[in-house]
Chain A
């Protein structure tokens, strides 16, 4: 309580109180620190008349907040407050004396008859009904009985009206309360009120005590100019004391005589107590594991930039994001805060959600106690499918067995013949060469073009005839190398020559067709030098074909002119060997992804796969329909290959795709348009990919500009449930990188796990 209020109180105390019953000045009361709430309560009390002690306590509470609520104070007991105060004064009303036996004996104070204790004071008019609610007497005219058994009559009703009239002019000492004992309005004099206040404030109740008397500073820290005493300094303050010297000499003598010994370490005493055994209960205590029910608190993620008081600008939400965040339900918000920039740490305000969060945390702890979750103790490695080790997947090519030297300039294409004895290569020097595969001996060579490179060489599949297709410049050459026995050579020549008749019997193109730019080319015989060398047929295509792919039966092959300047209608051509016929099946360019890159026939179904730079399309040739579109996600497809067992008994179609953006993609056509697996192991563009052509070895390989080949195991299972297993097996290095180019083409031996690669360094290599 501030001093001002205190003085007010004292003022109130000093005020005269008229003893006039039932008449109190309400003004005075309200001034004496009775605030509005008190008066309200008082009004309520006066209305109901049947108050209980609680409301009174509340009233007292309002008086002084230091008072304990449990202290009950009945209004009618206020006159007898002296007795209440007595124990507080600490004076017991008895004395303890010793009796003859020496025991304590309590001598109680005598009770004075005029002491206003409850025992002595008998109020004649007091109600004797006891501690029952007065409302029991509501239906009676009386409200109880006095000590003599006479009815105490209810105050006349007119009194209430009088009281109302009186309240207009509130008498002094009016409290608005009703004495429950008498049922009359309770009147408290100003003195009594002051007494109550003092009791409540734990003040000394006696009159005239001032707890705030001014302090008289007798001894101050300040040095006085004039000392209290003018006496001179006593001698003892500056003459050494003889007595002290005597004492010192005594001590010195005692030390010299050894009567006073220096301080001994207390360990001597410990030695004496050797018998005392100290048990170290915790000597061999080992750290125990946490209790089974111990649950450590979850680890919170470390705070990020977003939670900083000064986050980078990109973390700050713009207005739209802020609005969106505010509009979403708090439960649906992705994060429960918005990054906020305060500029500096001292501008950071108090955390407004602190109470809320603590509350929720307590709720969580109470409603959702932590539960020990049985941790899944699984090695993540074990969840991965078991990949067999490369050792188990032998055989696969591991070392270079033969180097084929002879080409000048890059070797662009390489192909092993269906019997697996010969190798055909074509290179920048315009020659096509046939080699003995195992020894690297060149058996045959023909120069197809003086200035243009041989882009592709591909043997015709099938062992009934030996035909080699090669492209150099704009032309496609079909050759029968003179390395086979006369029988097969004759069969091969017959195969190629059979078409001349068809070509001759075909009606000559009409005049209108003649005018068209892109009519089909006619197959012609080569010049005599090439004819002697073994080349039988030339197909002048007018645009540079970059890839050849034979149909499995060996009657058709598809060539793709991937040059950007090639008209779309002639970019893909299908050639029929038996009829010497060239067709252009596609009139328009494939949508999306630039010019077509390469094309292959499906190994068993009449489906042609055509790849442009970004997608691969599968066309059903018999129904003339687009069957499937693959989106490998590569930026520029360089090559692809179809699994040899595709659509046969052992599973669906699988395709591998190599791309210039270093990716090797495995597509399972039954799964999705997107790749089943993406392998990025090369540092540079992938030029060629190839499956092992026999179903015997589940191998595939790719060739890259980083000068290496990579061999993979890729086994396809027959059932639709399990996916293909792909295991990288071996990186084969050996080709030198020449002019940014490494390995340009790759092929497999038809039966063995041997791979052949063509390098930009002018060599081919056999790996086995």
Chain B
């Protein structure tokens, strides 16, 4: 945001003004009806507009808004936008402002895997960082005082051209992210002195998937990434530029036949582009999640909408095992101590599958309690039996897989604790039931020993809950 601030006042276009109609989809931040078109200097950028809207709303806590003009985010000054799109300054611009859904979070702390993988860089305790990727295609790094330290560049500057669906710290100074623009991007993250400013700069772009990437798993020790994509493939990538093969030509954005002005791709920054080590194809529907085995990084697991959970030998790229359940699987987590795989389903429950057992026993256990699709799973760092799930119903539930009972459908577990979204309470609607978790869907959840439970979702917030002592920690 700081760079926005620097360039916000463009003196050359101060004399030009344009009528803008500021609108919002969200009722809670909508301007009153009486607010007609406002004349604003065309030199304004996102930050200035955001300040303006915050002033108009007289909100106590300034919300960093994103601005959408005719379906594209404003990443330049209004003036440049008008020039680029050939719009006359006489027309009334309809600017939609919103801060966007957060689709992915990750935590960097002493206890997080990324810190343990830190090879060269050192991580100073007390400087925990939270990474968030959101639907506006931006990565943000937050400190624990809920301040944005760094934001990834916009699409024009080598950023994601579409929504981010997954983001992970590879190491304290490397970030991987993937999204609907079908690319996996590796970023270099550097922090300034004191840790108040940071910079995310593109390092590597990985092409190979033909549809949006739904999930991303990192194994930093072996420099490997695993992605699951809606093109039914599991991608296996190297984070090292030297290891990775060349990118497939036909998937590069330059090969796009349609010459559209609305997408300006890679104009200013040229980032190295690479391809996948292997694309593992066996799934018949979008792959929802792909993870590494918790103990053995040469084994990967993937879940898909085609109801199956597949085990891959990543060395040879061979399909080892297929377990077919009766529902679409949307998330996956490995519990290595118990040799169980937890898979969240679209049918509102979590299925625990033992990948070692014979194929006749598909589900070892079912965890029931959610009222909508379970899209995110994370392990409890305190207990080997703990598990947290984030669901589209707007709750995160903590499960102890020991607290189970057997009923007619087999072994069924119930959640130990349920975390609701704080944003609902802020609105004073904590009691109201949201149909299908509308507005409060949780997209991503992450549980760190130091930071706690970090969850993010449709309410555009990242919520942190202390997760200690929920489960007895003895193994």
Contacts and interface: CB of A to CB of B under 8 A. Distances in A.
A401 B392 CA distance: 8
B37 interface: no
A445 interface: yes
Contacts of B257: 486, 489-490, 493-494
Interface in B234-269: 250-253, 255-258, 260-263
A521 B117 CA distance: 65
Contact of B436 (A402, A441, A445): A402
Given A420-B285, A420-B286, A441-B101, A399 B436 contact: yes
A405 interface: yes
Interface string A554-594: 00000000000000000000000000000000000000000
A402 B392 contact: yes
B436 A403 contact: yes
A462 interface: no
A467 to B, nearest CB: 14
Given A405-B25, A421-B211, A490-B256, A482 B436 contact: no
A444 interface: yes
Contact of B253 (A402, A441, A486, A493): A486
B414 interface: no
A403 B256 contact: no
A439 B182 contact: no
B347 A484 contact: no
A441 B375 CA distance: 15
Contacts of A532: 260-262
A402 B101 CA distance: 15
B422 interface: no
Contacts, number: 105
Contacts of A485: 182, 209-211, 231, 251
B230 interface: yes
A6 B309 CA distance: 124
A488 B257 CA distance: 11
A402 B263 CA distance: 29
B180 interface: yes
B210 A765 contact: no
A280 to B, nearest CB: 58
B158 to A, nearest CB: 18
A740 B357 CA distance: 56
Interface string B325-355: 0111010000000000000001110000000
B178 to A, nearest CB: 14
Interface string A403-442: 1011000000000000111000000000000001011110
B191 interface: no
Contacts of B348: 399
Given A439-B441, A485-B182, A493-B258, A399 B230 contact: no
B436 to A, nearest CB: 4
A191 interface: no
Contacts of A401: 346, 372-373, 392, 436
A395 interface: yes
Contacts of A403: 435-436, 438
Contacts of A400: 435-436
Contacts of A751: 285, 305-306
Contact of A395 (B163, B260, B347): B347
B347 A421 contact: no
B159 interface: no
A441 to B, nearest CB: 6
B212 A406 contact: no
Interface in B346-397: 346-348, 371-373, 375, 392
Interface residues of A, number: 40
A53 B251 CA distance: 135
A766 interface: yes
B219 to A, nearest CB: 26
Contacts of A488: 210
A445 B372 contact: no
Given A403-B435, A482-B263, A752-B346, A420 B305 contact: yes
A488 B231 CA distance: 11
A443 interface: yes
A384 B41 CA distance: 76
A734 B210 contact: no
Nearest to B253: A486
Interface in A685-717: none
A768 interface: yes
Contacts of B262: 532
A443 B251 CA distance: 20
Contacts of B306: 751
B71 interface: yes
B71 A487 contact: no
Contacts of B347: 395, 768
Contacts of B101: 439, 441
Nearest to B163: A441
A493 B211 CA distance: 17
B187 interface: no
A421 B286 contact: yes
A734 B372 CA distance: 15
A752 B327 CA distance: 8
Interface string A486-530: 111110011000000000000000000000000000000000000
A490 B212 CA distance: 17
Given A532-B262, A751-B285, A395 B250 contact: no
Interface string B288-311: 000000000000000001100000
A486 B255 contact: yes
Interface of A: 395, 399-403, 405-406, 419-421, 436, 438-441, 443-445, 480, 482-490, 493-494, 532-533, 734, 751-752, 754, 765-766, 768
Interface of B: 25, 71, 101, 135, 163, 180, 182, 209-212, 230-231, 250-253, 255-258, 260-263, 285-286, 305-306, 326-328, 330, 346-348, 371-373, 375, 392, 435-436, 438, 441, 443, 458
18 contacts: A401-B373, A419-B286, A421-B211, A438-B373, A438-B375, A438-B392, A439-B101, A439-B441, A482-B258, A482-B260, A485-B209, A486-B251, A487-B251, A490-B255, A493-B257, A532-B262, A751-B306, A752-B328
Given A403-B436, A420-B286, A485-B211, 20 more contacts: A395-B326, A399-B436, A402-B392, A405-B25, A406-B25, A419-B230, A421-B212, A438-B346, A439-B392, A439-B458, A441-B101, A487-B250, A489-B256, A489-B257, A734-B435, A751-B285, A751-B305, A752-B305, A752-B328, A768-B373
